[in-house]
Amino acid sequence: MRFESPTTTKEAAVLLAGEQGDAYILAGGTDLLVRMKMGSIEPALVVDIKRISVTHEINVSAKGISIGASVSGATMSEHAKLIKSWPG
């Protein structure tokens, strides 16, 4: 298994597109790591996206809400604009 930790979405896309075997994205890791420990998946490549800054962003606008893949539930529960726009 190969492990990569890119810093941009472009780098992540190139890694994922170039992999011939099974590739998985690691954000929080809860589901992926459990599945790997159970032996239900054997990735050829794991791409850790936590170093990509946009995966940590929460954006609330008139167009909608965007929540990055690395944003935790705790962070969402403390984000004032998100709470105001989506209270529950």
Question: How many Cβ atoms from other residues are within 10 Å of residue 62's Cβ?
Answer: 4
User: What is the per-residue pLDDT across 5-49, written as a single tens digit (0 to 9) for each?
Assistant: 999 999 999 999 999 999 999 998 789 999 999 999 999 999 999
Q: Which of 61, 27, 26 minimizes the C-alpha distance to 46?
A: 26
pLDDT at residue 88, rounded to an integer: 65
Pick the CATH number of 1-52 from 3.90.920, 2.30.29, 3.40.50, 3.30.43: 3.30.43
Question: How many Cβ atoms from other residues are within 10 Å of residue 71's Cβ?
Answer: 18
pTM for this model (two decimals): 0.82
Question: How many Cβ atoms from other residues are within 10 Å of residue 43's Cβ?
Answer: 19
| Cβ atoms of residues 21 and 43 within 8 Å | yes
Q: Write down the domain spans for the chain.
A: 1-52, 57-88
